[in-house]
Amino acid sequence: GIQVEQSPPDLILQEGANSTLRCNFSDSVNNLQWFHQNPWGQLINLFYIPSGTKQNGRLSATTVATERYSLLYISSSQTTDSGVYFCAVGDTGANSKLTFGKGITLSVRP
């Protein structure tokens, strides 16, 4: 199956700093999603981005499918950005089951 590697595993930022989170995957995909899991455990969809670039406020994401990686950018970080960020990819099969990376734990300090 597809392998998903996220880096770095842990990240500590001062409020206001910018950061880049990386997701590498081992095969062609037709689905790539970024999620934020908040400290209460809720999974929140950030982006559906199998290719290209999208922006939503202070967050943006870029996926280069031909090179099998995706980047999530967080600008002007806030304490509410803390939590775990997951990248999940779906293979090119019809059922598009998602394979998750192990996540990146982000802590934003005030």
Partner 1 sequence: NAGVTQTPKFRVLKTGQSMTLLCAQDMNHEYMYWYRQDPGMGLRLIHYSVGEGTTAKGEVPDGYNVSRLKKQNFLLGLESAAPSQTSVYFCASRPSGATDTQYFGPGTRLTVL
Q: Which residues bind partner 1 (CB under 8 A)?
A: 1, 4, 30-31, 33, 35, 41-43, 45, 48, 86, 88, 90, 95-103
Compute the least distance from the CB of residue 14 to partner 1, in Å. 26
DSSP class of residue 94 equals T
Q: Are 70 and 64 in contact (CB under 8 A)?
A: yes
Which of residues 30 and 82 has its CB atom nearest to partner 1 in the complex? 30
DSSP labels, 65-76: GGGTEEEEEE-S
Which of residues 36 and 74 has its CB atom nearest to partner 1 in the complex? 36
Q: Are 72 and 21 in contact (CB under 8 A)?
A: yes
Compute the least distance from the CB of residue 41 to partner 1, in Å. 5
